[in-house]
């Protein structure tokens, strides 16, 4: 009798548990399955790059450039608590913030990386310039004098070393045998990132390019607080002159172009007053803490000296031009447009036309003759020679040297 009751109890208990489980399963079946939230697509830059940089860096903090430590008597700066604090304060100051410089530099990297991959013989110079400048304007999120192109895109070829960009109507086409210098400027709040590289599709000129790149690297490596500009020029010269190029069975030494130079950069002013010549000289001026320099070098298979030659495309309002009464109404109007759109930043004729200016040449020439606007003709070595250029922008911070425009491409 006891055995029968026990079996009955177990059976009832088991049935109760089983029924409970079945009810739970039935209840779960009735519940709606939760829809999985779609994953947010990772924002990616297009090809060509045209998405504003702030979308990738919403906190306003942009990538730091390559860091190089100071040498010799300035090694102490890296660990100095006083200099670290000074740097922190400077970085937070909206007038001197590094973030404007770094944003401009990151735009430069993206634009030039695309340019290096896509520039090919057969393209017109205007097509190349427009592609670079459209990318710059989109990425930097162009806004009047707050952000935009830092200066006209340099596309100088062969014996022409600098200051050529196509004017409207220029139908020049890039050739397979050309040596092309690509000089790009980007600015944010007047802080200009200035960097250049050279492209060639003829291996004959590989040593020329290597010489100039190595000379630029030397200039960057040896630059620093208290370095004398004349001595730095000598180190650049020594590096460049250690190379030679064989062209058609003749060996040519690579010569630094003695009357071109790197330069300091001030807000809204591409040439800030200090120059780094590419040959040894007696300039005792020192680099100083806080200086912002474009270290650029030019090498040539020719004389190693440039002259002005060709149609002008580059212009800039003279920074400290005297007040001159203008007799031409058209010149007054043009100057007003220049002040509004470019301030003291360099520009070219194509940029004037983007602002709606037309039939402006008479007024422009009048501003030049009055000393209010400076024209910058193309700078060329002798015909038949080849020139190359490389350039990066460096910031002499209180603690370290930052090569702001350095990237994986060069």
Q: Do domains 63-311+379-403 and 315-375 have the same CATH topology?
A: no
- The whole-number average pLDDT for the span 278-290 is 97
pLDDT of amino acid 75? 95
Note the pLDDT tens digit of each residue in 136-174.
999 999 999 999 999 999 999 999 999 999 999 999 999
- The whole-number average pLDDT for the span 124-144 is 98
User: Whole-angstrom Cα distance, residue 67 to residue 146?
Assistant: 27
In this predicted structure, the answer to whether residue 73 has a pLDDT above a threshold of 80 is yes
320 is in an annotated binding site: no
* C-alpha separations of 237 from 241, 299, 352, 386, 393 in Å: 6, 10, 38, 17, 19
pLDDT of amino acid 66? 97
Could you tell me which of 314, 267, 293, 260 has the C-alpha nearest to residue 395? 293
* CATH assignment, 63-311+379-403: 3.90.230.10
- Name the helix (H) or strand (E) containing 332: helix 329-341
pLDDT > 70 fraction of the chain, expressed in percent and rounded: 90
Catalytic residues: 183, 194, 263, 271, 296, 391
Q: Which of 3-7, 22-26, 292-296, 330-334 has the lowest mean pLDDT?
A: 3-7
pLDDT of amino acid 259? 98
Cα-Cα end-to-end distance for the chain? 95
pLDDT of amino acid 89? 86
296 is in an annotated binding site: yes
pLDDT of amino acid 5? 43
E strand segments, 158-221: 160-162, 179-188, 191-200
pLDDT > 90 fraction of the chain, expressed in percent and rounded: 85
For the chain, domain boundaries: 63-311+379-403, 315-375
282 is in an annotated binding site: no
pTM for the model stands at: 0.89
pLDDT of amino acid 92? 78
User: Whole-angstrom Cα distance, residue 179 to residue 158?
Assistant: 5
Residue 93 CB contacts under 8 Å (≥ 6 apart), including other chains: none
- The whole-number average pLDDT for the span 81-101 is 85
pLDDT of amino acid 97? 76
pLDDT of amino acid 322? 86
In this predicted structure, the answer to whether residue 37 has a pLDDT above a threshold of 80 is no
In this predicted structure, the answer to whether residue 135 has a pLDDT above a threshold of 50 is yes
Could you tell me which of 301, 340, 292, 314 has the C-alpha nearest to residue 183? 314
Whether the bond between 48 and the residue before it is cis, its omega within 30 degrees of 0, is yes
pLDDT of amino acid 4? 47
User: Whole-angstrom Cα distance, residue 200 to residue 204?
Assistant: 9
- The whole-number average pLDDT for the span 339-353 is 98
In this predicted structure, the answer to whether residue 10 has a pLDDT above a threshold of 80 is no
pLDDT of amino acid 41? 77
87 is in an annotated binding site: no
Note the pLDDT tens digit of each residue in 300-344.
999 999 999 999 999 999 999 988 999 999 999 999 999 999 999
231 is in an annotated binding site: no
Note the pLDDT tens digit of each residue in 189-244.
999 999 999 999 999 999 999 999 999 999 999 999 999 999 999 999 999 999 99
194 is in an annotated binding site: yes
**Taking the CA of residue 166 as centre, how many other CA atoms within 13 Å lie in the half-sphere pointing to its CB?**
19
If DSSP states are collapsed to H, E and C, what string results for 339-398? HHHCCCCCEEHHHHHHCCCCCCHHHHHHHHHCCCEEEECCEECCCCCCEEEEEEEEEECC
In this predicted structure, the answer to whether residue 61 has a pLDDT above a threshold of 50 is yes
3-state secondary structure of 50: coil
> 315-375: which CATH topology?
Arc Repressor Mutant, subunit A (1.10.10)
The 314-317 sheet, strands edge to edge:
347-348, 314-317, 373-376
Mean pLDDT for the chain?
A: 92
- The whole-number average pLDDT for the span 70-97 is 88
DSSP code per residue over 72-112 = GGGGGGGT-HHHHHHHHHHHH-TTT-HHHHHHHHHHHHHHH
User: Whole-angstrom Cα distance, residue 255 to residue 52?
Assistant: 41
């Amino acid at each position: 009798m006891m055995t029968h009751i026990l079996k009955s109890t177990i059976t009832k208990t088991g049935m109760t548990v089983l029924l409970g489980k079945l009810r739970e399963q039935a209840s779960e079946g009735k519940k709606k399955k939760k829809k999985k939230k779609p994953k947010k697509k990772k924002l990616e830059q297009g090809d060509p790059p045209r998405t504003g940089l702030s979308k990738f860096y919403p906190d306003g903090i942009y990538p730091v450039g390559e860091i190089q430590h100071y040498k010799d008597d300035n090694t102490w700066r890296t660990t100095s608590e006083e200099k670290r604090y000074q740097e922190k304060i400077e970085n937070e100051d909206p007038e001197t913030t590094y973030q404007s410089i770094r944003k401009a530099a990151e735009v430069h990297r993206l634009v030039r990386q695309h340019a290096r991959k896509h520039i090919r013989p057969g393209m017109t110079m205007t097509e190349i310039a427009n592609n670079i400048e459209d990318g710059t304007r989109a990425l930097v999120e162009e806004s009047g004098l707050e952000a935009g192109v830092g200066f006209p895109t340099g596309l100088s070829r062969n014996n022409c070393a600098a200051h050529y960009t196509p004017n409207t109507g220029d139908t020049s086409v890039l050739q397979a045998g050309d040596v092309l210098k690509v000089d790009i400027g980007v600015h944010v709040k007047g802080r200009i990132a200035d960097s250049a590289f050279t492209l060639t599709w003829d291996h004959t000129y590989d040593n020329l390019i290597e010489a100039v790149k190595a000379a630029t690297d030397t200039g960057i490596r040896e630059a620093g607080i208290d370095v004398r500009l004349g001595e730095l020029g000598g180190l650049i010269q020594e590096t460049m002159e250690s190379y030679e190029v064989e062209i058609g069975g003749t060996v040519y030494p690579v010569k630094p172009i003695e009357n071109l130079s790197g330069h300091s950069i001030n807000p809204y002013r591409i040439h800030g007053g200090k120059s780094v010549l590419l040959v040894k000289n007696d300039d005792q001026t020192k680099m100083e803490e806080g200086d912002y320099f474009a270290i650029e070098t030019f090498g040539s298979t020719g004389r190693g000296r440039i002259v002005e030659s060709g149609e002008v495309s580059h212009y800039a309002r003279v920074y400290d031009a005297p007040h001159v009464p203008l007799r031409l109404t058209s010149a007054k109007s043009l100057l007003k447009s220049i002040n509004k759109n470019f301030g003291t930043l360099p520009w070219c004729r194509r940029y004037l036309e983007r602002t709606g200016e037309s039939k402006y040449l008479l007024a422009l020439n009048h501003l030049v003759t009055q000393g209010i606007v400076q024209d910058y003709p193309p700078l060329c070595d002798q015909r038949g020679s080849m020139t190359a250029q490389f350039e990066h922008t460096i910031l002499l911070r209180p603690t370290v040297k930052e090569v702001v425009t350095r990237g994986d491409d060069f």
